[in-house]
Amino acid sequence: MISIFPSLLNGAVITLQLLVFSMFFGLIIGLIFAILRINKNPIINKFAYGYSYFFRGTPLLVQLYLIYYGLANIEFLRNSFFWVIIKEPYWCAIIAFSLNTGAYTSEILRSAFQTIKKGYIEAAQSLGVTKKITFYRIQLPIAIKQSLPAYGNEIILMLKGTSLASVITIMDLMGEARKVNVLTFKPFEAFITAGIIYLFITFIIHNIIKYLEKKYGFQT
């Protein structure tokens, strides 16, 4: 059990990399689509809704396969410079995870935007604050603070989601555990050790979010 630990830890580093990258891009995508969702234009609105409906209604595995196997099928993508990115399973996984978590994040942020009390915006308007500043200085900070608990859950869900990267040949924590299982025929040692590492990461994320909630949490 001790001898397999270093290789699993190497895998855990890849898992954390995937998580950090996809959470970063996912947050940007989520923010953009949340803003599109609260837009009054029905076409923009519907487009953002369709995006989140598709990515929340289909399994992550389908999305991953669509991007990893499916995009390579399109001729002009293969000839364009995008091919440098989508031929790497690592970047395919990050694209799929980012789009997936972006959809969930946009829903979290949208509901946070919609639960902001009207009084704040009206107060800003009556003080003559411009719309742009109202958004950046009042709506956005409140929305981010309100969505912290839900976003913490999303990070943990995504951590579990990154294990799918092992299916497309990435040697993340799950991939390393599978390799150990194949090499040693000891499924219990391999997967339970990997499970403990996953639980440990979950535990740390959970506590960081709890701390942030306590420090920056928004009381209404």
Q: Which residues bind another protein (CB under 8 A)?
A: 53-54, 57-63, 65-66, 69-74, 156, 159-164, 166-167, 174, 177-178, 181, 187-188, 191-192, 194-195, 198-199, 202-203
Q: Which is nearer to another protein, 203 or 216 (CB)?
A: 203
Q: Which is nearer to another protein, 23 or 177 (CB)?
A: 177
Q: Which of 135, 126, 100 is nearest to 30 (CA)?
A: 100
The CB-of-37 to another protein minimum distance in angstroms stands at 19
The CB-of-126 to another protein minimum distance in angstroms stands at 38
The CB-of-146 to another protein minimum distance in angstroms stands at 20
Q: Which is nearer to another protein, 124 or 172 (CB)?
A: 172
Residue 4 CA: distances (Å) to CA of 11, 15, 183: 11, 17, 11
Q: Angle at CA 52, nearest 5°, toward 47 and 58? A: 125
Q: Which is nearer to another protein, 141 or 195 (CB)?
A: 195
Question: In 38-134, which ranges are continuous DSSP H helix?
Answer: 42-57, 60-65, 75-79, 83-86, 89-114, 118-126, 131-133
- Measured over the CA atoms of residue 118, residue 120, residue 121 and residue 125, the dihedral's sign is positive
Helix pair 42-57, 89-114: axis angle to 10 deg: 120
The CB-of-179 to another protein minimum distance in angstroms stands at 12
